[in-house]
A and B are shown apart, each in its own frame.
Chain A
Amino acid sequence: MRARLYSVAASTSLRERTMYLGNFTASMLTYGLFVFIFSRVWAGAYAGRSEIAGYTQSMAVWYFIVAEITSFGFGRYFWGLSRDVKSGQVAYQLGRPYDFVAYNYAERVGGSLADAAVILAEGLAVGFLLVGTPPSAGGGLGAEILRGGLLAVSLLLAGSLNFLLHFSISLTAFWLEENDAFYWVYQKLVLVVGTLVPIEFLPDTVAAAALWTPFPYLSWAPARVFVAFSPADALSLIARQLAWVAFAVLLARAVFSLSSRRVALNGG
């Protein structure tokens, strides 16, 4: 374990990301707009109804606010990784004495922590303005602190899972000149399966099937930890996230191992 390397890589990336505050403007504007639009959509959907599939209108809005943090805070890995492979910039990294997957995780997720923190802060502020306080953690200050801690862990695991899946998809650039289509399919599945609407809103069979895929653990899991908090459920969701992260680590390592044998860096 090379703790010093990975912490320096993460802090360097974080420093670069925070060099210009303007870096966050586009994603903050888009995220704020999405949250506002969905709050209006839910206002229409909840007209005359107090809850849908166990969610009140306030819960549905807060769900969306938290579920979108993975996409907006930890969502830009595919483009950077694919570009580095296609341009040959990856040559420098391949020639270094470190674990390629772990280094990229530290560097890229490290930089994303700034985006995730900014989006989370914006989400809390916008949520308060639109629907008031979030659903209670049920148990006073101690429960609120516990929820906050478990939410942070769940979001970090969601971001890590997102990175590892992006990593595996982007490395298909070693085989294919044009691999964007894989990403588009992946992104749409992430949106449909647990980001735009809670899994519980889907038909039972679809929801049951979705829980066997990694997609709900990118957005549904942290959002559930926040809007329907119970320590036991939160730990169960986090355990499932950990299992998917472990699977995604193996997948990323396998894809890297296969693709690094196919490196073909032409033209300098």
Chain B
Amino acid sequence: MAAIVAENLSKRFILRVRPQGRFAALRALVRPERRIVDAVKGVNFSVDEGEVVAFLGPNGAGKSTTIKMLTGILTPSGGGARVLGLDPARERKRLAWSIGSVFGQKSQLWFHLPPADSFRLLGAVYEVEPKLLRERTGALVERFGLAELMDVPVRKLSLGQRIRCEIAASLIHAPRVLFLDEPTIGLDVVARKEIRRLIEELNKRDGVTVFLTSHDMGDIEKVCKRAVIIHHGEVVVDESMKTLKHRALSRKHVGVRYARPTSMDLPGLSPLKRTEQSARYEVDTNRHALRDVVRALAERGELVDITVEDEPLENVIEQIYAARSGAEAAAVTRGGSA
């Protein structure tokens, strides 16, 4: 069953533009200038119950706007969405009982109070019976390792500790779908790893559907089984991580080192880096058979070392992000050039 469905989901903002030049403020009063921004342009995707999906895109791509439409905070300008069978725009309050959300750049915890107070308040918000609230809080404290933090004012917690508390707080009402908007932003390596482990566990043990936005490729590769990439307000990629890696990673990095100075010219390939005895090539395997490239390099001289590496996923995402249009971005994943 689909937990989340977006159909031609769109959001248009009208921004007031401040004109430049003399008497600009006066002119703006008489004839205000407005700019239309299509933050989300008719996106379509669906997420099955129990899936962990990465929702990616560069800054300003429309990720947060989409999440806010899916949680009912923003009303779509066009199209629609269903989350757990409900229309978020019309049934926001009803939906709120079954979903949880964490916005990494904002906090739902009371800054000067210990997390225990926020948990108690959220229990009241979601009408969790006091006995059940105690049990759930106890279980979350154990699972998220919060025992030592529950009576420390939030302002004294590290960012990693706070995010652990934020995610735990969002689970107090046992939501079926969890929206995580950049939950690992600003965290160090250890804290990121810990948050990833917790998300994975939540999904595996409790079957919580997770819809995650992040700029951290580690989050995506480790936690998510599928990626939806939005760019310029359009969905440009919607594939399993495995397919994305195989289809998009058609580029290999081939490094070669010779025993003595060697001519390394290969027809149709120019090295990324080159010295007298070594070179590094980016090989698009859609154009050049890897086997032929390796053989040609081996024939050039006495080899000391040769390496073949996948292009890091981060580079591919970077190329998609660098594309100037949705169509151009989609071409990157099909093996074309951005």
Contact = CB atoms under 8 A, between A and B. Distances in A.
Interface in B242-278: none
B45 interface: no
A2 B73 CA distance: 22
Given A12-B121, A97-B97, A268 B110 contact: no
Interface residues of A, number: 28
A254 interface: no
Contacts, number: 84
Given A263-B73, A265-B74, A5 B125 contact: yes
A265 B64 contact: yes
B105 A268 contact: yes
A156 B118 CA distance: 26
Interface residues of B, number: 39
A102 interface: no
A204 interface: no
B93 A97 contact: yes
B103 A12 contact: no
A96 B101 CA distance: 10
Interface in B232-249: none
Interface in A160-204: 177
Nearest to A84: B106
A264 B96 contact: no
Interface string B73-108: 111000000000000000011101101010101111
A87 B103 CA distance: 13
A20 B105 contact: no
B191 interface: no
Given A265-B68, A268-B105, A96 B110 contact: no
Given A2-B124, A9-B124, 19 more contacts: A5-B125, A8-B124, A12-B113, A16-B111, A16-B117, A19-B113, A87-B106, A91-B103, A92-B101, A94-B73, A95-B96, A95-B101, A96-B96, A96-B125, A97-B94, A97-B96, A177-B16, A265-B74, A266-B13
